[in-house]
C-alpha cells in the first residue's frame, strides 16, 4: 500500500473518531441538561436532578398570638410530585398541638392546610410552619408557591394579620427555602408528644415517664379517670419497679387497667375513710415507649371524684363541671434508671438478684457490660470477684454498714 493511501485511511479514521467523540460529548451534555430541573419559589430558586427529593420549608414569625391560619400551596405537578417524608421531616412540626389539617390530595398540584387553637398559636420567635417533600419527575422549570388566605389575631375575629394575600399587614414575616432531602442518612425519627399544651420531642425507642400530680382541698372517697394517647405512636411500658403506678393510693383499693381500650388506660380508687391529697402528691405514673415517629397527645380525663361523706358532693362529675378546690398538673420526662453502686443487673435497685448476678459472672455463666462491672465493684479494688458478691449480701442482711453500697452514684 502506498504512503498516500495509508495517509488517506489514517485521516479518514481520525475524522470518524473525532465525529464519534463529538457526538458522544454532545449526547452526554444533552443528557445532563435533560436531567436538571429548575425550581422557583418565593424569594429564590433551586436546581435539582431528576429523581431527587427536595424539602420545601416555610418559616413564620408573628408578633402576636393568632388563633387560626389557612393557606394553599400550588406546585407544577407536571414536573414535581408530592412525597411524604413526614417521618423524617414533620410536615407541621410547630402546629401539632393544634387542630391542624394537611390535605395533600385536594387537587392536582394543590395542597391545602389549616390550623386553629382557641388559646392561641405562638410564633413570636421564628419557627418552621411547613415542611413538604417533592420528588423531581421531569427536567424543566417548575414553580412552588404558597398563597396565604387568612390568619386571625387571637381574641378578635375581625382583626387579621391578613385576609387574602393582597392584604398582608405588618407584624408577620415569612422565609422560604428548598433544601435536598437526605433520605439515605435521614435524621433520627422523632415523635412529638403534647402534654398539658407543652410539646416534647423523643426518639423512636425512647421510654418516657408521664406523671399526674393532684392536690385537693378536702378528703375524697373515690376517684376515676382515663388516660388517652395515640396507640400508633406510643405504647404503655412497665416502669413500676422505679415509678409505682399509683404510689399514694396503695391503701385505697386502687385498680389500673393499662389496656382498657385501644389508646385508653383507666384507673380508679376508693377508700371510705378518705383519700388525702391536701398536699400535692403524685396520683399516677405511667411509662410510654415511642413506637414510631408521629404525633400523640397524652391527656388524663377524670370521670368523677366524690368528696368524703357526700354522695352528691363532687369535686367534679364529668369534665364539664370541674369545680374549685383541686389542682391537676401533668408532666413528661425521660425515663432514666439511676446508677446504684452494687446494682449488677441494672434494674435500679440493690437486692439479692445483684449478688446472684455476680456469682453467675464469676462462674463464667454470663457476661456483664463495662457499666455493670463498674457498679459491681463495691469494694473499689478494681476487680469484680466473690468479695463484692459477699459484701452485697452482708449489706442486704444488715451485717455491715452500707456505706455507699446501694446509693446513687450516677
Q: Give the pLDDT score at 136.
A: 95
Instruction: Find residue 194's DSSP bridge partners.
Output: 199, 297
The domain locations on the chain are 38-180, 192-334, 337-410
Q: Give the pLDDT score at 10.
A: 53
Q: Give the pLDDT score at 228.
A: 94
Angle made by CA atoms 117, 118, 123, in degrees to the nearest 5: 55
**Distance (Å) of CA 83 to CA 56, 79, 136, 180:** 11, 13, 10, 13
pLDDT at 20 over 60: no
**For 347-367, what is the mean pLDDT?**
87
Q: Give the pLDDT score at 26.
A: 47
Contact 331, 352 (CB under 8 A): no
pLDDT at 254 over 60: yes
**Nearest by Cα to 34 from 21, 46, 51, 20:** 51
Q: Give the pLDDT score at 310.
A: 64
pLDDT at 23 over 60: no
pLDDT at 238 over 70: yes
Q: Give the pLDDT score at 410.
A: 66
pLDDT at 227 over 90: yes
Q: Give the pLDDT score at 9.
A: 53
pLDDT at 32 over 80: no
Whose cell is 389496656? That residue is 259
Instruction: Find residue 146's DSSP bridge partners.
Output: 73
Q: Give the pLDDT score at 81.
A: 95
> How many percent of the chain have pLDDT more than 70?
84
Kindly report, residue by residue over 278-319, the tens digit of the pLDDT.
999 999 999 999 988 778 889 998 888 888 876 666 676 665
Contact 350, 342 (CB under 8 A): yes
Query: Picking from 29-33, 264-268, 332-336, which range would have the lowest pLDDT averaged per residue?
Result: 29-33
pLDDT at 166 over 80: no
Note whether 38-180 and 192-334 share their fold. yes
CATH of 38-180, one of 3.90.550, 3.40.50, 2.60.40, 2.30.30: 2.60.40
pLDDT at 112 over 60: yes
Q: For the chain, what is the HEC assignment? A: CCHHHHHHHHHHHHHHHHHHHHHHHHHHHHHHHHCEEEEEECCEEEEEECCCEEEEEEEEEECCCEEEEEEEEEECCCCEEEECCCCCCCCCCCCCCCCCEEEEEEECCEEEEEEEEEEEECCCCCEEEEEEEEEECCCEEEEEEEEEEEEEECCCCCCEEEECHHHCCCCEEEEEEEEECCCCCCCCCEEEEEECCEEEEEECCCEEEEEEEEEECCCEEEEEEEEECCCCCEEEECCCCCCCCCCCCCCCCCEEEEEEECCEEEEEEEEEEEECCCCCEEEEEEEEEECCCEEEECEEEEEEEEECCCCCCEEEECHHHCCCCEEEEEEEEECCCCCECCCCCCCCCCCHHHHHHHHHHHCCCCCCCHHHHHHHCCCCCCCCCHHHHHHHHHHHHCCCCCCCCCCECC
* Confidence class for position 156, pLDDT limits 50, 70, 90: low
Q: Give the pLDDT score at 321.
A: 44
pLDDT at 127 over 50: yes
The superfamily CATH assigns to domain 337-410 is: Dockerin domain (1.10.1330.10)
Kindly report, residue by residue over 170-205, the tens digit of the pLDDT.
788 889 999 998 877 766 777 888 898 888 888 888
pLDDT at 139 over 90: yes
Instruction: Find residue 334's DSSP bridge partners.
Output: 208
The order of strands in the sheet holding 234-237 is 234-237, 281-290, 207-216, 326-334
Q: Give the pLDDT score at 342.
A: 86
**Nearest by Cα to 277 from 325, 321, 335, 314:** 325
**For 149-165, what is the mean pLDDT?**
73
> How many percent of the chain have pLDDT more than 90?
30
Q: Give the pLDDT score at 30.
A: 46
CATH of 192-334, one of 3.10.129.10, 2.60.40.680, 2.40.170.20, 1.20.1280.50: 2.60.40.680
pLDDT at 51 over 50: yes
Amino acid at each position: 500500500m502506498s504512503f498516500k493511501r495509508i495517509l488517506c485511511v489514517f485521516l479518514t479514521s481520525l475524522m470518524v473518531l473525532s465525529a464519534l467523540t463529538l457526538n458522544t460529548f454532545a449526547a452526554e451534555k444533552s443528557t445532563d441538561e435533560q436531567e436538571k430541573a429548575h425550581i422557583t419559589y418565593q424569594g429564590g430558586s433551586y436546581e435539582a436532578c431528576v429523581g431527587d427529593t427536595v424539602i420545601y420549608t416555610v418559616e413564620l414569625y408573628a408578633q402576636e398570638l393568632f388563633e387560626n391560619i389557612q393557606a394553599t400551596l400550588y406546585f407544577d405537578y407536571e414536573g414535581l410530585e408530592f412525597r411524604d417524608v413526614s417521618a423524617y421531616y414533620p410536615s407541621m412540626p410547630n402546629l401539632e398541638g393544634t387542630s391542624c389539617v394537611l390535605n395533600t390530595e385536594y387537587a392536582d398540584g394543590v395542597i391545602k392546610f389549616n390550623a386553629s387553637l382557641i388559646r392561641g398559636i405562638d410564633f413570636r420567635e421564628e419557627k418552621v410552619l411547613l415542611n413538604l417533600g417533592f420528588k423531581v419527575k421531569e427536567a424543566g422549570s417548575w414553580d412552588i408557591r404558597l398563597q396565604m388566605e387568612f390568619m386571625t389575631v387571637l381574641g378578635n375575629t375581625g382583626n387579621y394579620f391578613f385576609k387574602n394575600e393582597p392584604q398582608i399587614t405588618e407584624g408577620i414575616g415569612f422565609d422560604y427555602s428548598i433544601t435536598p432531602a437526605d433520605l439515605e442518612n435521614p435524621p433520627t425519627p422523632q415523635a412529638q408528644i403534647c402534654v398539658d399544651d407543652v410539646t416534647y420531642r423523643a426518639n423512636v425507642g425512647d421510654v418516657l415517664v408521664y406523671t399526674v400530680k393532684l392536690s385537693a382541698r378536702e378528703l375524697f372517697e373515690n376517684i376515676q379517670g382515663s388516660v388517652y394517647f395515640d396507640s400508633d405512636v406510643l405504647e404503655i411500658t412497665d416502669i413500676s419497679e422505679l415509678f409505682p403506678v399509683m404510689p399514694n393510693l396503695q391503701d385505697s383499693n386502687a385498680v389500673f387497667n393499662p389496656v382498657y381500650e385501644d389508646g385508653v388506660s383507666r384507673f380508679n380508687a376508693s377508700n371510705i375513710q378518705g383519700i388525702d391529697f391536701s398536699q400535692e402528691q403524685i396520683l399516677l405514673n405511667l411509662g410510654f415507649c415511642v413506637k414510631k415517629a408521629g404525633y400523640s397527645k397524652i391527656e388524663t380525663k377524670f370521670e368523677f371524684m366524690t368528696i368524703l361523706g357526700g354522695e352528691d358532693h363532687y369535686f367534679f362529675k364529668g369534665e364539664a363541671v370541674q369545680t374549685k378546690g383541686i389542682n391537676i398538673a401533668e408532666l413528661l420526662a425521660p425515663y432514666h434508671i439511676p446508677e446504684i453502686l452494687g446494682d449488677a443487673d441494672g434494674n435500679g435497685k440493690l437486692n439479692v438478684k445483684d449478688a446472684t448476678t455476680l456469682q453467675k459472672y464469676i462462674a463464667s455463666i454470663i457476661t456483664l457490660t463495662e457499666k455493670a462491672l463498674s457498679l459491681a465493684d463495691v469494694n473499689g479494688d478494681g476487680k469484680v470477684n466473690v468479695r463484692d458478691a459477699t459484701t452485697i449480701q452482708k449489706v442486704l442482711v444488715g451485717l455491715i454498714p452500707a456505706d455507699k453500697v446501694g446509693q446513687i452514684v450516677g
